[in-house]
Amino acid sequence: MSATCPQCEASDRSVPVSLALADTTEPLEEPVRALLAPPPEPKPARELSGGAIALSALAAIFAVVGILSLVRDREDLSGYDAAYRAGYLAGPFILPLILLAAAAIVELVARSRRRPGSGSPEEAAHRQPHARVWQAGWLCRRCRVAFFPEASIRPGFPASPAIPLEQFPHWVMTAAERAFGAQARPVAG
C-alpha cells in the first residue's frame, strides 16, 4: 500500500506515520518523533454513577450534621475514659464512613458493568477520533511533510494538503473534529 505525496506527487518515499515511528532501519529524529507521536489516550470517563453520587451526598450531609452536633453539644467528657471519649467523638462519622464505603462499592459495580471496547466501529470512532485520524496519517520522507490521502480518515473525507510536521498535531485535532465531531482538546505537554 502506498499513497502519493501531495507535494512531490510521488509515493516512493511515503510511509504511514505509525510505521515511520516504528521503523528502526531509517529512524526519525527525536523532534520529528515528538511531532508525529500518537495523540494522548482519552482519559477514562470520570463521571460517578448516580447511586454513588447520592450516597456520597448523604455521607456529606451526615458528616456536616455530625460536626455541627459536636460543636453545639460540647459535652464535658472529662469524667469518662478515653475509649468512651473517642467513641463519642467518632460516633457522628461512622454513618458517613459507611455511606462512603457503600458509594465506593456501588461505583465499582457500575464501572465493571461499563464495558469499554464493545460496540460498533462507528462508536469506537466516536470514542477515539483523534487516534483514528492519527492512524490515517502518512509521512513523505523526501519532503518531510505529513498528509492524509483522500477518504483515509473517513469515507468521503477529502485529501489533505501537504502538512508541515509542526502543524501535524494541530491538524489531527481539527480533522478529528471535522470528521467525527470530536471536541478539540488542548494538546498535552
Contact set with Zn ion (CB under 5 A): 5, 7-8, 140, 142-143
Please identify, using beta-carbon distances, which residue of 143 and 172 lies nearer to Zn ion. Answer: 143
Please identify, using beta-carbon distances, which residue of 5 and 17 lies nearer to Zn ion. Answer: 5
Which residue from 145, 137, 127, 143 is spatially nearest to 41, judged by alpha carbons?
Answer: 127
Kindly state the DSSP code that residue 40 receives in the 8-state scheme: P
Please identify, using beta-carbon distances, which residue of 4 and 18 lies nearer to Zn ion. Answer: 4
Please identify, using beta-carbon distances, which residue of 8 and 53 lies nearer to Zn ion. Answer: 8
For residues 71 and 55, the answer to whether their CB atoms sit within 8 Å is no
Q: What is the 3-class SS of 1-32, one letter each residue?
A: CCCCCCCCCCCCCEEEHHHHHHCCCCCCCHHH
Rounded to a whole number of angstroms, the minimum distance from the CB of residue 140 to Zn ion is 3
- Measured between alpha carbons, how far is 66 from 83 in angstroms, rounded to an integer? 19
Rounded to a whole number of angstroms, the minimum distance from the CB of residue 128 to Zn ion is 28
Please identify, using beta-carbon distances, which residue of 114 and 142 lies nearer to Zn ion. Answer: 142
- List the beta bridge partners of residue 138: 16, 147
Rounded to a whole number of angstroms, the minimum distance from the CB of residue 2 to Zn ion is 12
Residue nearest to Zn ion (CB): 5
- Measured between alpha carbons, how far is 173 from 66 in angstroms, rounded to an integer? 49
- Measured between alpha carbons, how far is 76 from 68 in angstroms, rounded to an integer? 16
Rounded to a whole number of angstroms, the minimum distance from the CB of residue 10 to Zn ion is 6
Rounded to a whole number of angstroms, the minimum distance from the CB of residue 55 to Zn ion is 59
Residue matched to cell numbers 483522500: 150
